[in-house]
């Protein structure tokens, strides 16, 4: 998996938890695991439903 950068959102396909990265990862092989599976990078949604 590519190293994750600040602002990236990771999602667990098992339980659906979402994490936001607040510091860049400098590992060559970044694997953040939840529920025993590597988490996936969620598509950054620019159009977040904001009412204001
Ligand atoms: Zn999980």
Three-state secondary structure readout of the chain: CCCCCCCCEEECCCCCCEEECCCCCCCCCCCCEECCEECEEECCCCCCCCCC
Is residue 48, in this structure, part of any structural domain at all? no
Give pTM, 2 decimals: 0.72
Domain with 35 in it: 9-42
Is residue 49, in this structure, part of any structural domain at all? no
pLDDT digits (tens, 9 = 90+) for 24-42: 998 888 889 999 999 999 8
Is residue 2, in this structure, part of any structural domain at all? no
Is residue 47, in this structure, part of any structural domain at all? no
Please tell me the distance between residue 36's alpha carbon and the centre of ligand 1 in angstroms: 8
Q: Residue 18: what are its φ and ψ, rounded to 5°?
A: -125, 135
Give the residue carrying structure tokens 């990078």.
41
Total number of domains constituting the chain: 1
Is residue 50, in this structure, part of any structural domain at all? no
Model confidence at 44: pLDDT above 80? no
Is residue 51, in this structure, part of any structural domain at all? no
Model confidence at 45: pLDDT above 90? no
Please tell me the distance between residue 26's alpha carbon and the centre of ligand 1 in angstroms: 23
Mean pLDDT score, 11-35:
93
Q: Which of residues 26 and 51 earns the better pLDDT score?
A: 26
Please tell me the distance between residue 39's alpha carbon and the centre of ligand 1 in angstroms: 8
């Amino acid at each position: 998996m590519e190293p994750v950068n600040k602002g990236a959102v990771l999602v667990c396909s098992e339980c659906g938890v979402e994490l936001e990265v607040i510091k860049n990862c400098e590992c060559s092989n970044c694997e953040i695991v939840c529920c025993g599976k590597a988490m996936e990078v969620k598509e950054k949604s620019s159009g977040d439903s904001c009412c204001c």
